[in-house]
Structure 1
Amino acid sequence: MVTICAALGLTAGVGSASVSAAPASSPPTARPVAARPAPPPVLVDCFGHAKVRPARFILACGDGNSRLVSLHWRSWGARSARATGVNVVNDCVPYCAAGHFHRYSVVVKLDRPQPWKKRPHVQHYSRITLFYPKDRPAHSGRVVTFSLWN
């Protein structure tokens, strides 16, 4: 019995040695991983939602007395975005609740992308510049720049 067990043990050892001595199959060919381009920055609205090429955007979150409408985006890239549209502004005369809204043609530029605090892996535009090619709101320059919320 001892001889049979020893013979079986020797056979098992030789069998496993022959298996481990077999040439290993070659590893699969490594394929280069294509780097995905980073998504373009977003525009964060008053409600903390990410927008890309929005048709409308509220500038005065507290009361809605200044907003952009009819936006047509000419570009939306990694460094800046440009659009034409209309800035609808309340004149607040004699006070905002009794004021009237006026429409002004505007060219919009977004730039200075930075990480968004809500989602640090997402870039958001942190500055907006409005160019008024014709009429403009009272007490407003031809070019107005604002920091955007994060």
Structure 2
Amino acid sequence: MRGSVMGTAVTLAAGALLTAAMTTASASPPTTPHKADPPRPVLVDCTWHQNVRPADFILACGDGNSRLIGLHWSQWSPDGATATGVNMVNDCKPYCAAGRFHGYPVTVRLDEAKPWKKDPGVQHYTRMTLTYAHDHPEGFQQVMTYPLWD
């Protein structure tokens, strides 16, 4: 009798394990390989840091006399990025150290993402276009396009 109790216990345990294994396998969603999202491009700043959706960005690296502030990004993808903000530009009158900064509402467009020379595995935007909403700084046009450093 002891043998039949032991056999029954082993049979029940094996059945429970089999049931658990089948339940777990059938409850798991099927796994399908998916394509990885393309890497998100970056905006490289004056100090060679990679930025994604920065709130501020210095345009004039040498003297800081032109910078973008209060950037609000509505798009950031391999196809391009778009933001609104303010371009703060020093009028440099009578000279830059004594000049005043003036704010100009602007739309910023980044595009032409390409591999970054410093790290070819990283895509970075290589062109920036600024479109001034109303007034623009003296010597600027309503739409200004700049190559970005590599």
Structure 2 segments unaligned to the other structure (5+ residues): 1-30
Residue type at the aligned position of 1:64: G
Residue type at the aligned position of 1:87: N
Shift of residue 34 of structure 1? 2.5
Question: 2:105 maps to what in 1?
Answer: 105
Shift of residue 35 of structure 1? 2.2
Shift of residue 135 of structure 1? 1.0
Residue type at the aligned position of 2:47: F
Runs of 4+ in structure 1 deviating by more than 4 angstroms, as ranges, are none
Shift of residue 32 of structure 1? 5.9
Matched, 1:118 2:118: yes
Count residues in correspondence: 120
1:26-49 per-residue CA deviation (whole Å, 9 max, x = no partner) reads xxxxx7643211121100000000
Shift of residue 86 of structure 1? 0.2
Residue type at the aligned position of 1:120: P
1:95-118 per-residue CA deviation (whole Å, 9 max, x = no partner) reads 111111000000000000110011
Q: What's the secondary structure of 1:97's corresponding residue?
A: helix
Question: 1:85 maps to what in 2?
Answer: 85
Alignment of 1:128-147 (within 5 A): 128-147=128-147
Alignment of 1:18-29 (within 5 A): none
d(CA) in 1 for partners of 2:114 and 2:34? Answer: 25
d(CA) in 1 for partners of 2:39 and 2:83? Answer: 19
Q: What's the secondary structure of 1:117's corresponding residue?
A: coil
Question: 1:35 maps to what in 2?
Answer: 35
Q: What's the secondary structure of 2:89's corresponding residue?
A: strand
Question: 2:60 maps to what in 1?
Answer: 60
Q: TM-score, normalised by structure 2?
A: 0.78
Q: TM-score, normalised by structure 1?
A: 0.78
Higher helix fraction (1 or 2): 2
Greater C-alpha radius of gyration:
1
Name the Cα RMSD after superposition: 1.1
d(CA) in 2 for partners of 1:133 and 1:57? Answer: 18
Residue type at the aligned position of 1:54: P
Residue type at the aligned position of 1:145: T
Question: 1:47 maps to what in 2?
Answer: 47
Structure 1 segments unaligned to the other structure (5+ residues): 1-30
d(CA) in 2 for partners of 1:73 and 1:37? Answer: 20
